Amino acid sequence: MKTENEILEMVFAMFLEKGFSEISTNEIIREAGMTKGGFYYSFKSREDLDRKIIEKYIHPFFAKPAEEMQRVWEESKKDIPTGELLWKGFFQPQRFSNYQAMIGKEIPFRNFYFLIYEGMKKFPQVAGYFKAFNQKKGEILHHILQRGQTRGEVIKTLDLEDYVTMILAMQDGILALKVLDDSIDDEEKYKKIQYQMWKDISTEEIRKYTDGGVTSAVS
């Protein structure tokens, strides 16, 4: 008999292929080689199974990068140049490759994106995760840019609220492109966004681009 983790992994793969709603409980029972009694021994209900899938596979997609961004931000009291902080504390944690490494498998981004989208419509907690994550991203980016202004690395005239909104919209555009073509390297796209960002917002005295992110140095 399959363990609970094995069942959750199997069901997650099924959901990625067809979505939450298109997979019946009977189909899950059949694919898992279980009896109905065995299924309801392991899971209180179909809703319980869905909840465990969400907690195991959906929640970490939002929670882990948010935690990493917060961790890096809290370490920003160290003398980390703002350009480097933008990469380590904002762009880098959001790479899809990080999520795949966390769950220990490669999965199609397109399938995962559509599962997230369905989950937001079907489950209030998924919509809540999405909303909280976007709020956290905006807050962290705002903090980093504001810190850069204080340090004299980011131009003082930058409208932080408008600029944060623009960068988040550009990120959404990268996600849309990756849905259309899963071979797109989101890390490369993020690096290009940051490179252009740094050209636009850094003060004349502070500018240096290095592989893996932007760091600042006095010229």
For residue 20, the enclosing domain spans 1-43
Same domain? 38 vs 63: no
Question: pLDDT for 158-211, tens place per residue?
Answer: 999 999 999 999 999 999 999 999 999 999 999 999 999 999 999 988 765 443
Looking at this protein, which amino acid is placed at residue 65?
Answer: P
Same domain? 137 vs 175: yes
Same domain? 9 vs 82: no
**In 10 A of CB 22, how many CB atoms?**
11
Task: State residue 117 phi and psi, 5-degree precision.
Answer: -60, -45
DSSP 14-69: HHHHH-STTS-HHHHHHHHT--HHHHHHH-SSHHHHHHHHIIIIIHHHHHHHHHHH
Within-domain flag for 122: yes
Same domain? 16 vs 55: no
pTM: 0.88
Same domain? 23 vs 64: no
Domain count, the chain: 2
Within-domain flag for 136: yes
Q: Which residues face 218 on adjacent strands?
A: 206
Compute CA 182 distance to the chain's CA centroid, rounded to the nearest angstrom: 15
Same domain? 59 vs 25: no
Task: State residue 212 phi and psi, 5-degree precision.
Answer: 90, 0
| Residues 6 or more apart in contact with residue 170 via CB below 8 angstroms | 193
Within-domain flag for 206: yes
What are the angstrom distances between the C-alpha of 215 and each of 134, 167, 209?
A: 25, 19, 6
Tens place of pLDDT for every residue, the chain, 219 residues? 788 999 999 999 999 999 999 999 999 999 999 999 999 999 999 999 999 999 999 999 999 999 999 999 999 878 889 999 999 999 999 999 999 999 999 999 999 999 999 999 999 999 999 999 999 999 999 999 999 999 999 999 999 999 999 999 999 999 999 999 999 999 999 999 999 999 999 998 876 544 345 544 433
What are the angstrom distances between the C-alpha of 130 and each of 88, 123, 125, 126, 219?
A: 21, 11, 9, 6, 41
- Asked if residues 79 and 213 have their Cβ atoms less than 8 Å apart, the reply is no
